[in-house]
Amino acid sequence: MNRRSTLALLASAILAFTASANAQSTLKNATFDVSKITRDNFYDVVVPLAKAEGRVVMYNFAGSFAQMWNEGLIKPFEKKYGIKVEYSDVKGDQANQQLIAIQKAGQNAPVDAFFDGGGSYPVLSAANVIANVDLGSVLPNLATVPAEFKDVVFGKEVHGTFPIVHRNQTAIGYDSALIDAKDVPTDFDELLAWSEKNPKKFAVTLPSKGGSGGGFLQSVALNYTTGACHDRLTDYSKSREENDDWAMSDPCLQPVWDYFSKLFESAELTNGNADTLNLINNKQAVMGTVWEDHVMTFLADKELPETFKMTLLKNGQIGSGDAFIIPANAVHPAAAMLLINEAFSADFQAFKMETKASRSPRPDIDGGKVSADKRRFMLPDSVYPALSLPANWPMGDALAKALEEKVLAGL
């Protein structure tokens, strides 16, 4: 693009914030017409606008990711563009409710770029919190990201507004110094038998207290159901209320409740993902439900033994992911777009995988990008990604509520 056409396009973008331009975008505070931005002109148009805004506010819902964001994304971004990033760790549910309340009140959002949980899209989109900006089609660094991580996410049509920047995987983790390789369970039946033979040595995160337990519950349900019942578990079109009613009442799920009734007689139940890992670190448990990326955090902090390993069970276990959004009433939308684009860069995605075992949505960033020293702590190629199943978190929540009543209430 020559200098004259670049200046003309930039002027057009800035002056286009009129009634007609405003109708094309839900970005309340944009001084530009988002519809005029393309992947080809992104840097020419957005960088000057972002620098004029001068700063960007970022929220992070995953507390263990703070150092990764600061070292791998924020410091390089500030050095590259001279734009200040104001960063805060938040609790995802509380931040979601805050943004919903602010949106209803017609006020400006306190955040511009929000790294939020993968299950947050339904509640935020229903409240019109998420800006109607197709980041998947506009941001240059999302060009190679498959549609399943930017257009249809967890079965929901998100139209590029909720791109998955971080992929994670639930798994079964164990201390290989305390269990022979031949005794490591390979399927759900073997896991139950191992737990019954080794009481209180298998730690299960309660689904209502942590995602590794919720993912395990979904995985068990997918393993022990067939036909229409199995299909219903992966039906993303149903409302939360419909899922709740079905999970509580359909007899086809009885094998799931039977499995957990038996498992909970021998397993150790924990109140969080960290609690499960702490039990294994303290050798009170040998095996447990885990997140792959959370394990890497504990290993880096020397809170797990280097003999810790992970596997996925036959028929698969739930994998998930978390996304970036721009609120519709963000104050610095151009800077937010620029920051999110950098979060999808090859350099940051490789850094993220190396430091957090954080799987990338980019097909060119895989386990081969990770050093041998870190790779040995990640899921082996023999099970990942072949045994990774897509999450359905609204259904997972419904199953967790039913589990409370049908199994946990009777313990």
Give the residue among 55, 63, 171 at the shortest CA–CA distance from 115.
Answer: 63
Q: What is the architecture, at CATH level 2, of domain 34-167+322-369? A: 3-Layer(aba) Sandwich (3.40)
- Give the Cβ contact number of residue 66 at 10 Å: 14
For 172-209, how does the pLDDT look when each residue is reduced to its tens digit (9 = 90+)? 999 999 999 999 999 999 999 999 999 999 999 999 99
- Give the Cβ contact number of residue 258 at 10 Å: 13
Task: Supply the mean pLDDT for the chain.
Answer: 92
For 291-350, how does the pLDDT look when each residue is reduced to its tens digit (9 = 90+)? 999 999 999 999 999 999 999 999 999 999 999 999 999 999 999 999 999 999 999 999
Whether 60 and 87 have beta carbons less than 8 Å apart is answered as yes
Averaged pLDDT, 199-220: 97
Residue with the larger pLDDT of the pair 24 and 268? 268
b (16+ CB within 10 A) / e for 326-352 = bbbbbbbbbbbbbbbbbbbbeebbbbb
Instruction: Classify domain 168-319+380-410 by CATH number.
Output: 3.40.190.10
Residue ranges per domain, the chain? 34-167+322-369, 168-319+380-410
